[in-house]
Every structure is written in C-alpha cells, then in structure tokens.
Amino acid sequence: MRVGELEHLRWADVDESTGRLRVSAASSKSRRARWIQVPADLFALIVALVPREDRDLDAPAFAGCTQARMRTDLGRACKAAGVARFGLHDLRHRRLSLWHRDGVPIVEVAQRAGHARSSITLDVYSHVLADDREISRKTAVPCRLLV
C-alpha cells in the first residue's frame, strides 16, 4: 500500500473473513479501488488492535498513524539499527522489487501495487536487484537496494 492509502484506511475497509484490506477509490492514487491481501500473521496483529465490538467502522484502522509520524518512526528505527536512513516509499519500492526478483508475474505485481498499467511497473522495478545476502535471515546485512 502507499503511505497515503494506509493513513486513510478505515475499519470498514478491513475484511476479516478474507484477510484483506480495501483501498478505496478516494484514497487511491489511480482513483481505482483495490483489495490488498495481507499475510495471516500480520492481519492477526491488525485486527487485534481494536476489539471487534469496539470498532467504529468510520474510524481510522491505525489511529494516530500519519505520514509524518511514520517518517519520524522509520528514521528512529534506522538510527537504532545503525543503517542508512531511507524513506517510506523505499519500503514500497523494495517490496515490489523483491516480488519481481522472486518471479511474481509483472502483471500481478502491478495489480498488487495498484498500477494502472504493468508497463509502468516493469519500467520502474525491473532494473533493481537485491543482494541475496540480505534476503537470508541467517545473515545480518543492512537493508539496501543495489541498482
């Protein structure tokens, strides 16, 4: 998801039965609604934030989560980890690049990213290669992209 989409996510956009999040057309850069499939362990953490009976469907799913706060928190995390500071969009770029590297069809990567055309995805992400050492959980290489 884009940071702005995450910031505007409401509890009404959380589909517990399928483990998906809905990006509304109003918050999407492309102005098209789409569904984001979330890994089960991460989705469980999201729904545990607020008990179902206490949720206001119009309330933000991540109360207090703003772009400015996420930038600050990410900067602090980079400093604490001793890695070079990177931005929020870098995380999105990295995820899409890893999907591409792992052989996910470019059409599917484009769909997941919310890109209107897969050619956009291919042009932007096909040149990025990840250092395989950083993918391994056995080594402690700082997160970075090699271009």
Least confident window among 25-34, 89-98, 114-123: 114-123
Residue indicated by tokens 């899409």: 96
Residue of 141, 96, 103 lying closest to 123 (CA atoms) = 96
Higher pLDDT, 73 or 135: 73
Q: Which of 144, 127, 36 is nearest to 91 (CA)?
A: 144
Helix, strand, coil % (nearest 5) of the chain? 45, 10, 45
Would the pLDDT of 1 be above 70?
yes
Q: How many degrees, rounded to 5, is the angle at CA 65 between CA 64 and CA 67?
A: 130
Percent of the chain's residues with pLDDT above 70: 82
The contacts of residue 36 (CB under 8 Å, 6+ apart) are 1, 20, 21, 22, 23, 112
pTM: 0.65
Q: What is the pLDDT of residue 17?
A: 94
What does the pLDDT look like over 28-64, one tens digit per residue? 887 888 898 888 999 999 999 999 999 999 999 998 8
Sorted by where each begins, the domain ranges of the chain are 3-54, 86-135
How far is residue 131's CA from residue 135's CA, in Å, rounded to a whole number? 7
Element (H, E) at 99: helix 88-101
Structure tokens, 92: 């999105």
- Least confident span in 3-17, 35-49, 65-79, 121-135: 121-135
